[in-house]
Amino acid sequence: MDFLRPASWEEALAAKGEHPTAVPIAGGTDVMVEINFDHRRPEYLLDLNRVGDLYEWETGEDSVRLGASVPYSTIMEQLRAELPGLALASHTVASPQIRNRGGVGGNLGTASPAGDAHPALLAAGAEVEVASAARGTRMIPIDAFYTGVKRNALEPDELIRAVHVKKADGPQQYSKVGTRNAMVIAVCAFGLALHPRTRTVRTGIGSAAPTPVRAEAAEEFLNAALAEGGFWDNGKIITPSVAKQFADLCAAACNPIDDVRGTASYRRHAVGVMARRTLTWTWESYRGARRTEGAA
Amino acid sequence: MRVNFTVNGRPQEADDVWEGESLLYVLRERLGLPGSKNACEQGECGSCTVRLDGVPVCSCLVAAGQAEGRDVVTVEGLGDHARQRSCGGSDGVPLDAAKGWAAKAGTDSQAGEGVELAPIQQAFIDAGAVQCGFCTPGLLVASDELLERNPNPSDADIREALSGNLCRCTGYEKIMDAVRLAAARQSEGV
């Protein structure tokens, strides 16, 4: 095994171009587990800890360009206002020790259906910035990024530079089912974001299909129902029948398996419950914000 | 490969390190510092917790090469780290002293007599927060960092800070007591 230690982003891309089988390691919270258990013996480890750019983020007008290695603990502390869904998701990642090391780039690189960041990214709307020495930078929409169980749209010579996450223009929520709060891989997870500016709702489902997915039929139904009832303007409570239909459609968007953590039918049920709850929570905050604005 | 880094305030060098080796393995097997414990090797138990450039991390998930040029504090250096924090100035802990670290035998069954402990270590002893002791080093490092960052933690803060450290003996209540005790002593300047 060779340990490659690029000191800059350009060096890292050159190294990955030269050794496409090299396994990038940043926080190490996925890669080291596989090495410790002898599940993986990569020919090259490509250490990204010395690439300082990956630990920086920039807040633009519409989105945050989040460096691939910005740790979850920093997202929780520094980006709660801009990326509330991702901040909530970050808080559910493992333990403080893991959140101090792990970041969204690793979650995307591993592309596990159970990765905690994915539902939040899908709900907020995001693009993954990847680059190679040969072809430069390209942007991959988050909806096209996950291609299979632990598979993503990266080419062998590419590395993840950053993820551009849309800044919240309304309330966002994140919910996760597990046996306890800390140190739990999700049985299933759900992210929901209201986008009042475009009058749309977006969702993200984790651990309930081969890849993280959006519940697109549920989104379309809810967008139409909210528009038809004038809910965005009148700020009324969402009709229980609408919430139930939304929840059922979210459950129907799942394609889960039975495993040691839970059965497929449990996962479907739980996703429906989380969909209804997160919709209620976010809608209540939206109504609250409207009332405050109205009073002011 | 060779790894050069700072351990408990002193520069150290580890040779013949395999590229896939963890920082934990280097600390225990190459430098002879067995204080950080090896249990789950997957970041679930926290018994290998050390400070990497001040930040608590699971040393089993840090590749040895990633520690190059960086600053590590292990449980063996915790007393010195705490002393440095309160008084300032320290030359660090020499490797031989760290290797030989032991709670010296006292006049009764109370451990820790005759050796200078970090306040959090004394609090763990006084509160009876140590049973089999395997999780203790990780808990000490995590608790010490909490009190450095947040001198008056609420119970929720303590639970959150220690949520990555598993203990199968104590049921955590005595550990909570120990951290509260250390916080109280710290604020009284004892």
Task: State which residue of chain B sits closest to A40, comparing Cα positions.
Answer: B20
Written as six digits, the tokens of A59 are: 């807040």
Residue that the structure tokens 């410790």 belong to? A36
Residues of A in contact with B71 (CB under 8 A): none
- What per-residue confidence (pLDDT) applies to B113? 53
Residues of B in contact with A96 (CB under 8 A): 56, 142, 160-161, 163-164
Q: Quick check: A3 and B63 CB within 8 A?
A: yes
Which phi and psi angles does A72 have, rounded to 5°? -55, -35
d(CA A217, CA A202): 11
The alpha helices in B35-135, defined as continuous H runs, are: 78-87, 95-99, 119-127
Per residue in B54-76, pLDDT (tens digit) is: 999 999 999 999 999 999 999 99
Task: State which residue of chain B sits closest to A50, comparing Cα positions.
Answer: B66
> Between A2, A28, A182, which is nearest B19 by CB?
A2
Q: Quick check: B61 and A95 CB within 8 A?
A: no
Go through the domains of chain B in sequence order and give each one's CATH number: 3-76 (3.10.20.30), 103-188 (1.10.150.120)
For residue B103, pLDDT over 70 is answered with no
Written as six digits, the tokens of A167 are: 């800044």
Q: Quick check: B65 and A45 CB within 8 A?
A: yes
Please give the CATH number for the structural domain made up of A177-295. 3.30.390.50
- What per-residue confidence (pLDDT) applies to B42? 96
Q: What is the ipTM of this complex?
A: 0.94
Per-residue pLDDT of chain A (296 residues; tens, 9 = 90+): 999 999 999 999 999 999 999 999 999 999 999 999 999 999 999 999 999 999 999 999 999 999 999 999 999 999 999 999 999 999 999 999 999 999 999 999 999 999 999 999 999 999 999 999 999 999 999 999 999 999 999 999 999 999 999 999 999 999 999 998 888 899 999 999 999 999 999 999 999 999 999 999 999 999 999 999 999 999 999 999 999 999 999 999 999 999 999 999 999 999 999 999 999 999 999 999 888 876 65
d(CA A93, CA A72): 8
Mean pLDDT, residues B98-110 = 61
Residues of B in contact with A49 (CB under 8 A): 66
Task: State which residue of chain B sits closest to A1, comparing Cα positions.
Answer: B19
Nearest CA to A287 among A295, A29, A208?
A295
**Is the CB of residue B61 less than 8 Å away from at least one CB of chain A?**
yes
A53-60: long-range pairs with CB below 8 Å, 24+: A53/A8, A53/A9, A53/A161, A54/A9, A54/A26, A54/A105, A54/A161, A54/A162, A57/A162, A59/A167, A60/A167
For residue B108, pLDDT over 60 is answered with no
**pTM: predicted TM-score of the whole model, two decimal places:** 0.94
H or E stretch covering A86: helix A84-91
Q: Quick check: A3 and B41 CB within 8 A?
A: no
